[in-house]
Homo-oligomer: A and B are copies of this chain.
Amino acid sequence: MTDQERSEEKSECVSLSPMREAVPAPPECERVCVFGTGDLGLSLGLRLLQAGYRVVFGSRRPRSSLLLHGAQVLGHAAAAQSALLIFIAVQREHYDFLVPLANQLKGKVLVDVSNNLRKNQYPEANAEYLQSLVPGAEVVKGFNTLSAWSLQNGPIDANRQVYICGDSVEAKQVVMAVATKLGLSALDQGSLSVARELEDFPLQLFPQWRLPLRIAIGLSAAFFFYLLIRDIMYAYVTQGEDISFRIMVSLANQVCPIVSLIMLSLCYLPGVLASFLQLYRGTKYRRFPNWLDSWMLCRKQLGLLSLGFAFLHVLYTLILPIRYYLMFWVTEHTVSLIRENRTTTFDTTTAWRGDSYLSLGILGFGLYVLLGITSLPSISNVLSWREFSFIQSKLGHLTLLLCTAHTYLYGWNRFLSSSIYKWYTPPGYMLCLVLPSVVLLLKLLLITPCVDRTITRIRQGWERGADQRNPKDSQPLIP
């Protein structure tokens, strides 16, 4: 099998099915060059053709048959000379083939679209390495967050935003113009020293979710072992009973609501703290401490994880009646009633308490789901700022109130009985009530008329102790 045969076979194998071949553009169109005929190179070329550019592929084997209908294939040197803008869709290991082309590349704009397989694979960013190889050219890093797939399928199903960086402003403007014509929106991120960050971006795995996930896992583990010791090991040690089967459902159904409620209050605590800080400082023009800033930035993630735990709690609760355990004890209870000839009377207070407990839980979960739905990007985008803050702040605190009341009703008067403090430890639901109660109390303080008036004035730009005759030329962030 010769080189040519193999290369023809390859060019045949690239799946371009979702797209139709573009017609050749007339000579007066702008010409763009693409080095590299891999998946990404071909997809870029196709997309450029569709946007009306003339596309020239640079290849070591220019005689190999036509790659894309409408695109030219030239040798690297000839291709480089034919266009101002050159996309380098080649792997970093092969960049050195560009060194002999230094003359043809002088003054050209080279777009480095490469990615690495893992972080810190190389000492410097690919784009910086490329710049060092071809110092005469203007290197722009960009487009590396796009996959070949999303280029082929168009921006409907994919992210329209691309980030670019580079040392030459003119070069970046050339690249930005091309991005706009491809239906993308390019954002300048600064000089070429940012390239490393851009190259790390596609390797990111949920950076904003890390902290909230760690909190969730930490809380779950802590409460799991706490309850394991308090309930299952206590029963085994003191009564010799093996109730280990409760781990699967009963324990899970205690851990889930506890973690959910704590995380929901963690989601609203930073906002309350920030208000008190502004109140204390008497101005909104002071940066929050870093820990508060990063806490506030992950509120959405905290809330969504909390919703996930609440969802599991709902499912775990709803399957209770089909558990073998419950069915067994209901039958046992009835049998013992009859055998011991006891009678029971219906207790209206218990019915009220139980039904209120369930009803508050249902309404709280309903609002929870509503909060989750409105935090979907496509929903929150169509909300005005006032609508978004109404839902996330007013309805959010109402959700917290309902869920906290639901938990208090669960506890009911058992708070006072000493028998539940096994081994002198309080039950889990009592521990989890501390934080939401504090958040709700603080929030209650904030919405008392006198405090609320001060906070509102501060948010509108007023500063305590500021010279009021000296008008500030600023506008509040939240109108």
Contacts and interface: CB of A to CB of B under 8 A. Distances in A.
A63 interface: no
B324 A321 contact: no
Given A15-B287, A90-B475, A381 B157 contact: yes
A473 interface: yes
A45 interface: no
A343 to B, nearest CB: 8
Q: Which of A157, A185, A365 is the most central at the interface, judged by chain B CB atoms within 10 Å of its CB?
A: A185
A26 interface: yes
A426 to B, nearest CB: 25
Interface string A126-152: 000000000000000000110111000
A81 interface: no
A240 interface: no
Interface in A160-177: 160-161, 167, 169-170, 172-173, 176
B355 A12 contact: no
Interface in A353-369: 354-356, 358-359, 362-363, 365-366, 369
A29 interface: yes
B202 A384 contact: yes
Chain A's interface size range is 35 or more
Given A348-B242, A362-B319, A38 B475 contact: yes
Contacts of A293: 15, 17
Interface stretch (A99-107, A385-393, A432-440): A385-393
A413 interface: no
A387 B206 contact: yes
A348 to B, nearest CB: 6
Contacts of A472: 38, 94
A52 B172 contact: yes
A351 B247 CA distance: 11
Contacts of A22: 188, 190
B358 A471 contact: no
A377 interface: yes
Interface stretch (A113-121, A222-230, A445-453): A113-121
Nearest to A42: B474
Interface stretch (A210-218, A257-265, A332-340, A416-424): A332-340
Contact of A318 (B201, B318, B460): B318
Contacts of A155: 161, 185
